[in-house]
Amino acid sequence: MGTACKQIIADVLTETAPKDKDLVVLCSDSRGSGNMAPFYEKFPEQAIEVGIAEQDLVGISAGLASCGKHPYAISPASFLSTRSIEQIKVDVCYSKTNVKLIGISGGVSYGALGMSHHACQDIAMVSAIPNIRVYIPSDQYLTRFMMEELVKDNEAAYVRVSRNATEDVYTPETKFEFNKAVTVKEGTDVTIIAVGEFVSRAKKAAELLAEKGISCRVLDMYCVKPIDKEAVIKAAEETKHIVTVEEHSIIGGLGSMVSTITAENAPCKVKVLGLPDAELICGTQEEIFDHEGLTPEGIASAAESLL
């Protein structure tokens, strides 16, 4: 079943390191969970360990970047984002340093480990800061495309991926455009805009809707910021109904951003699906999704109820 996006990130960094001697990887006792241990063996001169100190991780990365290095800070999304948010705001965004923040095990990947380990506010927090882009790729092919773009540029980005393997949504032949939503499926009655883990589920929801004669468009908004505003407006105008679904609090994430765009440009019915503004139950990622009704069936029925 698919491949973990974090492995693809490790692969791209491993391929790029010999070509870009300024590329440096930083971990905070997280090289194992980031699939980066082989990189540390292979490129000791381009691999830095900071210990369990995520604020330091981001500050050191910013310092390296200000001296011309191309740092990739890899750490669990929960600690990398919320723990280090001021370093992200001041040292990365405000000072405009080219730091790539790779948040692994995002959302509720860590399931039963509890709220301390969940990253369900990261997109809201990081996106609200200027001078940083935010990405949540859905599968291995899109992750590779996105990483190959990011290693070429000189601006900050926060990438959030899951811990587990994600089902393939695309094929090696799929053509992507950077910072443009991917149209996973065309449709005319309703649009589901999804990110990350939920793109494959949205695709299944669209199939369930098709069985009922409902034509559902599916957009993969992996570029949460800069969000593809045109694609949102087009979906609002052409399909009149939008469902958003994300592994994030329903406050301040994809749903909030899409709702702002539609409200200002093309008012239409929007249903925001995601994690509630409440403590989550103990369980695996899958169990939490099921409990919150974030299944293909649940997404399809939310879409249907808008019509």
Partner 1 sequence: MDKKQLKAKANELRCDALEAIYRAQTGHIGGDFSVIDILTCLYNGVMNVSPEQVDDPDRDRFVLSKGHSVEAFYAVLADRGFFPMEEYINTFSQCGSKFIGHPNNELPGIEMNTGSLGHGLPVGVGMALAAKLDKRDYRVYVVIGDGELAEGSNWEAFQSAVHYGLDNLIAIVDRNGLQISGSTEDVMASGDVAAKLRVFGWDAIDVEDGNDMGQLLEAFEHCKERNGKPHAIIAHTVKGSGVSFIENKASWHHHVPNEEQYHAALKELKGQVE
Q: Which residues bind ligand TPP (CB under 6 A)?
A: 29, 52, 54, 79, 83
- Residue 298 Cβ vs partner 1, minimum distance, rounded to whole Å: 17
Amino acid at 203: K
| Residue 244, contacted partner among partner 1, ligand TPP, none, CB below 5-8 A by kind | none
- Closer to ligand TPP at the Cβ: 80 or 132? 80
- If DSSP codes are grouped into helix, strand and coil, which group holds residue 133? strand
Reduced to 3 states (helix: H, G, I; strand: E, B; else coil), residue 155 is: coil
In angstroms, give the least distance from the CB of 54 to ligand TPP. 6
- Where in 13-122 does DSSP place strands (E)? 23-27, 47-49, 70-76, 100-104
CA distance 141 to 3: 9
The residue type found at 9 is I
The amino acid sitting at 32 is G
**How near is the Cβ of 59 to partner 1 at its closest, in Å?**
10
Q: Residue 2 or 283: which CB sits closer to partner 1?
A: 283
What's the closest the beta carbon of residue 3 comes to ligand TPP, in angstroms? 24
Distance CA 232, CA 229 (A): 5
Output 29 or 287, the one with its CB closest to ligand TPP: 29
Q: Report, in Å, the least distance between residue 265 CB and ligand TPP.
A: 40
Contact residues for partner 1 (CB under 8 A)?
Answer: 27, 29-33, 37, 49-53, 55-56, 78-79, 83, 110, 112-117, 281-284, 287, 291
- Residue 61 vs 143, nearer CB to ligand TPP: 61
Tell me whether residue 37 or residue 165 sits nearer to partner 1 (CB atom): 37
Determine how many CB atoms are found less than 10 A away from the CB of residue 93.
19
Q: How far is CA 105 from CA 111, 119, 137, 157, 162, in A?
A: 10, 8, 13, 17, 4
* Cα separation of the two ends of the chain: 33
Closer Cβ to ligand TPP, 52 or 307, answer by number: 52
The H or E element containing residue 290 is helix 285-291
What is the closest distance, in whole angstroms, from the C-beta atom of residue 22 to partner 1 in the complex? 24
